[in-house]
Amino acid sequence: MNKARHIAIIMDGNGRWAELKGKKRAEGHEVGAKIVREITEFCSKNDDIESLTLYAFSTENWKRPRLEVEYLMKLLKKYLDSELENYLLHNIRFEAIGDIRAFSKSLQQTIKNVQEKTAHCDGLVQSLALNYGAQDEIIRAVNRIKNYENDITEAILKNALDCKHDVDLIIRTGGDHRLSNFLLWQAAYAELFFTDTLWPDFTTNELEKIIKDFTKIERRFGGLK
């Protein structure tokens, strides 16, 4: 039976959820942040799950209206400040993947602070993809090793990536069926699940059902068995 050791989620639909309810898009993001906590806590209690990677802000999200981007930056800082105690309570190690140099100095410091204070935690690893794009990640990895004297191997390139672990299961909420530049290297043999559920409506029950369905899939990794 398969084990979903590394689950990655494209959390789509916050804005649409709010608009459907006649609310401001910001309210959708607020509710979405609460769902992040619920899903993370659920995963931390599942012994089979080692890593949870969440697509929080992509390199393309800078194209959104300025006020929405500014709000998302404030929400991210607020989330991390408030979540530190919860990370420690549930033995969760936080890490950021992506190029956080584009963020304000204050937000960068908050990210680094939470990473440092949870570094000793040895339970679930929650990774937030922040200013992340898989193509950008690969380019930055190549630049890190471009002066390497020997032939570049798969292992060397993988070790230069932000996210160094293959993904078992990718879930996308919100109804779209694409990866949107998310973990392209790590998802080489990931199983893909798409749901029409908007992220603020995504529940631990739905996640549990997806994981159950995942365990029944025959994963051959290019072979016959």
pLDDT tens-digit readout, 94-137: 999 999 999 999 999 999 999 999 999 999 999 999 999 999 99
Domain range list for the chain? 6-215
CATH class for domain 6-215?
alpha beta
Catalytic residue status for 91:
no
Q: Among 146, 133, 142, 174, which residue's Cα sits nearest to residue 160?
A: 142
Ranges 65-74, 167-176, 212-221: which has the least confidence: 212-221
Per-residue pLDDT band at 221 (split at 50, 70, 90): low
pTM for this model (two decimals): 0.95
Give me the catalytic one of 46, 61, 166, 201: 61
Ranges 82-91, 146-155, 161-170, 182-191: which has the least confidence: 146-155
Catalytic residue status for 12:
yes
**Strands lying side by side in the sheet with 169-172:** 93-97, 125-132, 51-58, 6-10, 169-172, 191-194
Res. 224: pLDDT tops 60 = no
